[in-house]
Structure formats: C-alpha cells, structure tokens
Amino acid sequence: MKRFSDYRIVVILMLLLVGCSPAPKEQAQPLPTQASLQQPPSLDSAASVAINFLEDWRLGDYDSLYNTITFSAQEATPKDTFVASYTEAADAMTLDSISYTPGASLFRDPQRSDVVNFSYNVTFNTRMLGSFDDTGRNMQLVYDKPSASWRVAWTPGDIFGLMASGGKLRIELSVPSRANIYDDKGRVLADQSGRMVTVQAVKQEITDWGACLNLLAPAMNKTPDSIQKIYDRSQSAWLMDLGIIEPAVYDRLHTELETTCAAQFASRPVRQYSNGTAAANILGTVGYPDEADLPKIEAEGFNADSILGKSGIEATWDETLRGHPGARLVIVSPAGDVLREVARVASTPPQSIWLTIDTELQLQVQQIVASYYDRMKLASQSKGASAVIMDIHTGAILAMVSYPTYDINAFAPFSSLGQQQAQAAVAQLENDPRRPLLNRPTQGAYPLGSVMKLASSMAVADSGVYTLDQPYVCTGIFTREGNFTRYDWLPGGHGRVTLPSAITQSCNPYFYEVGYQLNLVNPEILPSYQQRFFGQGTGMTDLAENAGFIPDPEWKIQNTGLQWTQSDAINIAIGQGEVQVTPLQVVRMIAAIANGGTLYKPQLVAKAGILGEASSYVMSPNAVGDANVKPEVFEVIRKGMCDVTTKSYGTAEYQFRNDDALQQIGVCGKTGTAQDVPRPTHAWFAAYAPRDNPQIAIVVMVENGGEGSGVAAPITRDILDYFFFQMKK
C-alpha cells in the first residue's frame, strides 16, 4: 500500500471519528469457520483504498487512479478513455481543484461481503462557477481475491452519478450585452443597437466537422483556419460560439446549418456608434481578443469570438462595459435533454459609462479646426492638429479633438457601414500619411516652443535666481562667450522688459538669458522645473499617453557621453532642442497656473453605473501633484499671460482685439512657434479663461502650421466664443 500523505491521514482520522457503521446489525456472531477466515479484510483497508482514490483525483494523478479500479472496469474502459473522461469533465467545469470529506457511513453490502459502499462529499473549485459541493456521493469497492486487495468498481458515475447512464457535462454561458457609452448630457455615443445572429454548436454533436466547416467559412466570411481554432480550443461538452452571420445569411442557410452543424442560433446585439466621428480618438475600438489573451479571457467566461475593448475608453473601461458572463453546469442526456443542473453562477450586469465630453462641443471644435484647414489651406503643410479643453478645478476633459478624425464604425465587427466599405475605410486609414489613428492630444509629442517660457519663468523666479521685476534690455540679439549668438523673432528687439512683459511679448533674448543664468547657478534647476509638468505621464488612465521628454545633464552624459552646455540650457528655456511634450501635458500646466499650482489627473469618465440605479462610480477631482511654485510667481506669470490678448504689444492681441465678448471676460494665453526643421514650425496657443474667475484651460496645437499667433490663436478664439457664448463661425 502506498505511503499515506498528511492529507490522507487527516481524512482517515476524520473517517474514524465519524465511525464506520456496518449496515444491519447481525443477531449473533457465529464461531469462526474456514469460510469466515477467507472473508475480505476489515473495512479500514477498504477505506484507505477509497481515500487513496480520492487523493489521486485531487492530485490529478490519473495513472494511479486507473490502477485503483477493478480489472473488469479496466477491460470495459481503456486507459485513454478513462483519463479523457476526467480531463474533459475538468475542462467542462473549468476545474481548478477538488477537495473531499468522508460521509457518515462505510459498510458491506448485505448480500455480498466482498462489496463495500463508501460515502463521501466533494467540493469542486472552478474558475467560472466558483466553488460548489456535490454531497451524498457513493463509491463502491470490490474485494479482488487473486490480488488480495480492495478495488474501486468504477463507472463514469464516479465523476457524477448521472454520467453512469451516458450523461455528459455541458457548460452553458450567458454573456451579457455590452453596455452603452454616453456623453455628459446623456447622449448615446456607443450602444448595441445593431443586430446579428450567433451560430452555436456543441462540439460532440457535430457528426461531420469538415462539411460543417466548409459551410460556416463562407457564411461568416471568415477563413476556415480561424473557425478551426475555435473548434480546437473548445472541449467536447462546450457550447461553442462559432461566429456571427448577418440576418439575411441566417434566412438563407439556417436549415442547412442546423442539419450539418447541429447549429443553434441566438440574436446578438453588435456595437454601433451613433456619431462615429464625434470622439473616435476617445472612444476607441472593440474587437476579438488576441491569441495571447485567450486563456485569461476564457477563464472569465468569454471566448475567441467575444467582442471586447481593444483601445481607448472601450479598452480601459472594458471590464465595466462588458460585465461578467453567467454560467450553468448541467448534465445532459445523449439526446441533449438536461438531466440535472449541477451549478449555476449569475452574470454580473455590465455598466454604462458617462463621459465628461459634451458631444456638441466636441463636434463644434472639430468643425472649427477643419474650417481653418480649409480657409488657410493648411493641409498642404500640416498633417494634423490637437485641441483640448480641461476644467481647471477637477481635471475633467470637456473636449479632446484629434484632427483629422475618422468614423470609428469602420473598426466595429459587423460594421454599420457595411463589410466591404468598412474594410476599405480601415485600409485607407492605416495607410494615410496624416496618421488619423494617432490620438494627437495624448500621444503626439512635439517641441513646445515659446509656451515653455511659462515653465522657465517659474524656474527662474521661484528659485530666486531672478527677482519678480528683473529688468532686461532686449536689443534683438543675444551674445555670450565663445561667439554664441542668438536672435529674437522681432528685429530690433523689445527694449526694456521684465518677467511679465517678456512673457507678453515672447522676448526670446530674455529667456535665452534665463537659461544661461540658471545654468550658471545649477544646470539641474531648469530641467527639474520643466519635469514637474513634462517628461512623465499626467496620471491619465482613460487613454494611453506619451510621456514626452525633457533632457537634463544626467541624461546627456549617459546617452551621448557629452557634457551639458549653456546651449542645451538656452534651447530648453524656449522649448526647443530635444524637448518633447504632449498637448495634454500642456493643458494641465496651464490649468495649474490658473488654479494656483494643483496638478489634476485628467479624467474622461464622469460616472459609471446601470441606467436608473445609483452610480457605482462618480468622478472626483484627483490631485496627483503640485507645481510647488510660490503664489506671487504664479501671479506675475498670469499677468504676463493676460496681457498677451489685451496689450498692444501682446503677441495675440490682434486676434482678440475685436472680440468684445471675450475681451469682456478676459482670455489669458501664450503663443508658441516651435521649430521642426526642415518642416514648417508647429503652431501653439495655450490659454485659460475667464481672467478673474478661471474655469477652463485650453490648448490648440497645429502640426507644422506656422506661427502660433497666426494659426493656433484664432482657432482658440473661435472655440472659446462657442464655449462661453455658443457663437458659431
């Protein structure tokens, strides 16, 4: 007999404590005879065999399990079939493990002294159904005289009782319909209003898989290999989702599919986007899971044909939107009738989400950007643009436009555009040199140009290297030792300037001097202030974002082997050199300037929940950092920004001077024109408004669009006119 494990010993002790009670009590015990001496050994030895059998099942040692059953059972059931019966049952249940306890009885059969009945209970621990008990089970053992040992009189009923008469395990899934996505006003952005037909079948019920496959592939417009993979991954008892067909195909082929594939059908809602161009870069896409994700997905009740989030909000909020499938484990007869429901787990309802985005505002911003591309013929030199509006007190993103946009319906399985049109649209988008699939506000990284002067102002004033009213005479030429010369964008310069007026006029020599002086004091000061805003993620979790990059002395020596120089400091002081930032990072910096220094996590989801019920999630402002800049420094910077649109010498004053409505509330901003040699410069404008009671921050960036004041500033102006006054232009 094999050596007992600690687990076996514990179970045997439990069994002994429970008591091994023989069946009926005999009236009187006769004296031992020769025949009685040939009786099987005691019940204790039978119990140990039963415990060994259950322990081997617990360990998944099917070889030992098979060696424990009677020889007649082995003749009736080849080893491969025996092992398959257990592995298929485990697969059908999504079994992780079992545990067992003995019951209250162990007794000989009254009619046969060589037969013993052992009662026990089993707990099945599964991935999909959780843990469930199967109690009052009975194992029969027979004493084999030639081998002088007890053996298990095995049948498939030792897995589940009804399997002894041909019953099979089957798991049936109940996959909830994907929930909706709404804008902040409750307008539907994504729902399940489309309808298709799901083709399902139980693998073991398909008599001619080859014929079935040949019928399915053209009906579903899928390759035979892709359907074969679903078949290969499925267990014999699983109800497979083989794919989806259009209603017209169902009408034509459903009878043949029922005959050839034993097919079952279910109506299936499919994803549609009511206005596919409104927020394509935010919503993202849905699709089939990747091969590498299948084990995890299948353990959660989904399969290769499930539609799950692939990018954007659809991906980051996928678990909320998809819910969790329900399942029930049943035993069915050979005819397919349900004989017993073994276990059931209810599905978790999916939850809708409401974005912080206003659809009308989003569409209007898109239209404004597009109109400037037409009006200024920007398409000949610019591949795209970004526009982002953020609530400065919460981090909520009110609009986020990536131009050019596209219709997200093209990427939806069973697209409302029609299959051929959708495939053509996707191919065109993937090959478009303008890269419309790039979400420019979060993933586009660019030199910032003069908007970086705001961060450089914080560095020089907050560090104390400059006083708040530090004067500088700008002649238009900046010269330092080593024949180092740089020029201003305005020939002749700006004359005497201080920090706020240098911001207002965007005086390059002033900020060349800022970079130079900071570098003399400590080369780490300037990059360390810029890295409070750039060169790392904003904390956004709703969309993927580019961290950007701010160079510093350590990076340069490690990556180039060269020392940091005054040229490096002067370059980054005006947002050039290796500087790379995203529009989202810039709008967060502007919001921090406006709100006094708080860096909020940008958020796109206002709430989540089931329509008509209390929300399970409600967005709250999440302060993930602080600019750690003195209030008086922010005050000076805000003064310089507010003069940009109002003072005659402000770089964007001419764009705002005739806009009485905006002049009334006040717009505080900063222009930026970033070099991108040999291409045209990038055009930036970053602002907040209103002046005295700021509500929003806004950034517009036009790739290779030209001057910030001439291109990005008027776009920003028109967006603000719509935002505050619903003025359409």
Q: Which domains does the chain have, with CATH numbers?
A: 6-24+36-165 (3.10.450.100), 174-353 (3.90.1310.10), 442-648 (3.40.710.10)
Structure tokens at 109: 């059969």
Of the pLDDT bands very low, low, confident and very high (cuts 50, 70, 90), residue 374 is: very high
Provide the pLDDT for residue 196. Answer: 79
Q: What is the mean pLDDT of residues 682-710?
A: 98
- Pairing verdict, β 484-487 and 477-480: antiparallel
Cis omega before residue 690 (within 30°)?
yes
The H-or-E segment that residue 421 falls in is: helix 419-430
Residue 616 CA from chain centroid, whole number: 18
User: Does 342 score more than 60 pLDDT?
Assistant: yes
**Angstrom distances, CA of residue 512 to CA of 102, 508, 568:** 84, 6, 11
pLDDT digits (tens, 9 = 90+) for 234-244: 777 778 888 88
User: Does 288 score more than 90 pLDDT?
Assistant: no
pLDDT digits (tens, 9 = 90+) for 224-269: 998 998 898 777 777 888 888 877 788 899 999 999 999 999 887 8
User: Does 144 score more than 50 pLDDT?
Assistant: yes
Provide the pLDDT for residue 246. Answer: 78
User: Does 14 score more than 70 pLDDT?
Assistant: no
Provide the pLDDT for residue 29. Answer: 42
Q: How many CA atoms lie within 13 A of 84 on its CB side?
A: 9
User: Does 105 score more than 80 pLDDT?
Assistant: no
User: Does 129 score more than 80 pLDDT?
Assistant: yes
Burial 309-320 (b: 16+ CB within 10 A, else e): bbbbbbbbbbeb
Cis omega before residue 678 (within 30°)?
yes
User: Does 16 score more than 50 pLDDT?
Assistant: no
Q: What is the mean pLDDT of residues 169-198?
A: 90
Q: Given the structure tokens 């870069």, which residue do they identify? A: 281
Of 289, 669, 681, 236, whose CA–CA distance to 454 is shortest?
669
Q: How many CA atoms lie within 13 A of 163 on its CB side?
A: 19
| Residues whose CB falls within 8 Å of the CB of residue 14, separated by 6 or more in sequence, listed in order | 101, 102
Provide the pLDDT for residue 350. Answer: 96
User: Does 435 score more than 60 pLDDT?
Assistant: yes
Residues in a beta bridge with 424: none
Q: How many CA atoms lie within 13 A of 519 on its CB side?
A: 19
User: Does 700 score more than 70 pLDDT?
Assistant: yes
Q: Given the structure tokens 């939850």, which residue do they identify? A: 351
Quote the CA–CA distance of 444 and 703 in Å, as a whole number.
10
Q: Which SS3 state, helix, strand or coil, does residue 285 take?
A: coil
Provide the pLDDT for residue 539. Answer: 96
Provide the pLDDT for residue 19. Answer: 41
Sheet holding 112-126, edge to edge: 95-109, 112-126, 130-144, 149-152
User: Does 36 score more than 60 pLDDT?
Assistant: no
Quote the CA–CA distance of 385 and 387 in Å, as a whole number.
7
| One-letter amino acid for residue 129 of the chain | L
Q: Given the structure tokens 């009408």, which residue do they identify? A: 251
Q: What is the mean pLDDT of residues 379-384?
A: 96
Quote the CA–CA distance of 589 and 584 in Å, as a whole number.
9
More confident: 654 or 300: 654
Structure tokens at 445: 């990284």
Cα angle 715, 361, 626 (rounded to 5 degrees) comes to: 80
Provide the pLDDT for residue 38. Answer: 55
What's the chain's Rg over C-alpha atoms?
Answer: 37
Q: Which SS3 state, helix, strand or coil, does residue 486 take?
A: strand
Residues in a beta bridge with 673: 683
The H-or-E segment that residue 495 falls in is: strand 495-497
Of 336, 337, 304, 346, whose CA–CA distance to 130 is shortest?
346
Provide the pLDDT for residue 20. Answer: 40
Of 476, 516, 469, whose CA–CA distance to 497 is shortest?
469
Backbone angles phi, psi at 207, to 5 degrees: -80, -30
Are residues 64 and 32 in contact, defined by beta-carbon separation less than 8 angstroms? no
**Angstrom distances, CA of residue 10 to CA of 13, 48, 53, 100, 137:** 5, 12, 15, 11, 20
Q: What is the mean pLDDT of residues 445-468?
A: 98
Share of the chain above pLDDT 90, in %: 75
Q: What is the mean pLDDT of residues 12-40?
A: 45
Q: How many CA atoms lie within 13 A of 707 on its CB side?
A: 8
Structure tokens at 301: 């009740």
Quote the CA–CA distance of 498 and 473 in Å, as a whole number.
9
Which spans in 605-694 are helix H?
631-644, 653-656, 660-665
| Residues whose CB falls within 8 Å of the CB of residue 425, separated by 6 or more in sequence, listed in order | 406, 407, 410, 417
User: Does 133 score more than 60 pLDDT?
Assistant: yes
User: Does 15 score more than 60 pLDDT?
Assistant: no
Provide the pLDDT for residue 106. Answer: 81
CB atoms within 10 A of CB 75: 8
